[in-house]
A and B are shown apart, each in its own frame.
Chain A
């Protein structure tokens, strides 16, 4: 009885044209692509095996195979879709090549001299092997710290002004010029600091603080941009609740807005420090280089890591290899420094993030 009822609404399955269209199995394009690469390896083996020719032949053949087979089975629209997927993936791989190659080269060349001596000795009275970048590392840290001291208050207050106070044309023009200033060449900032200090202190003045001023010219726009973005994210309800309790504006900013946004502010400032710590050109123009250790940023030249690496590379002495090794290791230390700053930024945004519980 019940079986008869269930079998009653039995209809012929609708076999429309769309449904009956053939489709490739899920993994078929990937398999075709790999087959193309294998074929490319074979083709490359004919003319003497090489990694580069294998990759070039393989990518071309794989893309072609995917396109042709998909076009034959599924039609031109799907084929174009797969073709573009292949092209985009290839472009991504192409973009990753320089990055991986750069990190590998610096590690390969820089690791041999990454020893204790590199961190404890300066280049004072060193003409051949040995020596280190103690003076340059300290100089970079001091100058970057000074630049941060100058640019964080200015940048943060500008951001607060833009978000909390400014309106209309002034706000728009400040935002526009801050945007434009993020793109000025670093060497122009160096020339600006040089000209400024020449005006103030006369000719041939060389001080660490000149470099700090040049770096802060580069850093302020970055700080303003990132802090502005973060402050915009603070919910308006918090401000309005504060005003409703009769709290004055400055107290609202200091006690409500800034604590809410502290994680983003810390991240933005750390990233902007990472942005300027590797700048070479402005320091080359303003601070110069010395071989000894100078810890006073208000008197005389200082050594910094990027300039140190540059001069070790371009003006090697009699023992060329020793100088090149030091240049690579300095570059490696610089990369490690920047990566450490990025990690610190991540940690700040992770640990201070749940500010809703305040």
Chain B
């Protein structure tokens, strides 16, 4: 499971950094220049002008990355050899599968009620990611509302 966690971390890293970059580049240039003009070093400028401005954007980006990781299918299906049991041990050899990879692995051979079970688990996954994404968008958009004031 730990390996899959690392793989997913690598996969969502570009998303988080892209969103954070966008948020940082929107931080008002006047604030930065003012901080620098007052004699702040570059890190002090970032900490006082850029980070407070982009805080909600960073959180939102991280949650969008979380949503992407929740729905990631094939990487998990290939790396994780998922079993049926549930365990919280990260580095044991028996791993519980994820919803998405479980669907991908079982679906081609499923028949009858099995198909319905898998589609129902897909619905659960859909609801979870929907909630995570809605929260993330809400956090990001809340910032956008008052960014025009400056």
User: Which of A169-186 touch B at CB < 8 Å?
Assistant: 176, 179-180, 183-186
Query: Does B27 make an interface contact (CB < 8 A)?
Result: no
In the bound complex, CA of A98 to CA of B17 (Å): 14
Query: Does A191 make an interface contact (CB < 8 A)?
Result: yes
Query: Does A284 make an interface contact (CB < 8 A)?
Result: yes
Task: Assess whether A281 is in contact with B73, with CB atoms less than 8 Å apart.
Answer: yes
Cβ contacts A to B, 12 pairs, < 8 Å:
A81-B42, A85-B43, A180-B130, A180-B134, A180-B137, A183-B68, A188-B126, A188-B129, A191-B122, A281-B100, A306-B74, A313-B78
Query: Does A195 make an interface contact (CB < 8 A)?
Result: yes
Query: Does B44 make an interface contact (CB < 8 A)?
Result: yes
Task: Assess whether B41 is in contact with A185, with CB atoms less than 8 Å apart.
Answer: no
New contact pairs (13) apart from A179-B133, A188-B122, A194-B119, CB-CB < 8 Å:
A81-B42, A84-B42, A98-B13, A180-B130, A180-B133, A183-B67, A183-B132, A184-B129, A185-B126, A188-B126, A284-B108, A285-B108, A310-B74
Query: Does A292 make an interface contact (CB < 8 A)?
Result: no
Residue of A with least CB distance to B42: A81
Task: Assess whether A191 is in contact with B43, with CB atoms less than 8 Å apart.
Answer: no
Residue of A with least CB distance to B136: A183
Question: A95 with B71: in contact, given A84-B43, A180-B134 (CB under 8 Å)?
Answer: no
- Total interface residues in chain A, CB < 8 Å: 30
For A85, the chain B residues whose CB sits under 8 A away are 42-43
Which A residues contact B (CB, under 8 angstroms)?
77-78, 80-81, 83-85, 95, 98, 176, 179-180, 183-188, 191, 194-195, 280-281, 284-285, 288, 306, 310, 313-314
For B72, the chain A residues whose CB sits under 8 A away are 185
For B108, the chain A residues whose CB sits under 8 A away are 284-285, 288
Closest A-B pairs by Cβ, 5 of them: A185-B71, A81-B41, A281-B73, A183-B133, A84-B43
B133 to chain A, nearest CB (A): 4
Query: Does B107 make an interface contact (CB < 8 A)?
Result: yes
In the bound complex, CA of A84 to CA of B50 (Å): 14
Task: Assess whether A185 is in contact with B125, with CB atoms less than 8 Å apart.
Answer: yes
Interface 1/0 per residue, B79-105 and A, CB below 8 Å: 000000000000000000000100110
A350 to chain B, nearest CB (A): 21
For B44, the chain A residues whose CB sits under 8 A away are 77, 80-81
Task: Assess whether A195 is in contact with B13, with CB atoms less than 8 Å apart.
Answer: no
Residue of B with least CB distance to A180: B133
In the bound complex, CA of A183 to CA of B122 (Å): 14
Residue of A with least CB distance to B137: A179
In the bound complex, CA of A324 to CA of B68 (Å): 28
Task: Assess whether A80 is in contact with B122, with CB atoms less than 8 Å apart.
Answer: no
A126 to chain B, nearest CB (A): 21
Residue of B with least CB distance to A280: B74
In the bound complex, CA of A183 to CA of B44 (Å): 35
Task: Assess whether A183 is in contact with B64, with CB atoms less than 8 Å apart.
Answer: yes
For A84, the chain B residues whose CB sits under 8 A away are 42-43, 46
For A81, the chain B residues whose CB sits under 8 A away are 41-44
Task: Assess whether B137 is in contact with A187, with CB atoms less than 8 Å apart.
Answer: no
Residue of A with least CB distance to B135: A180
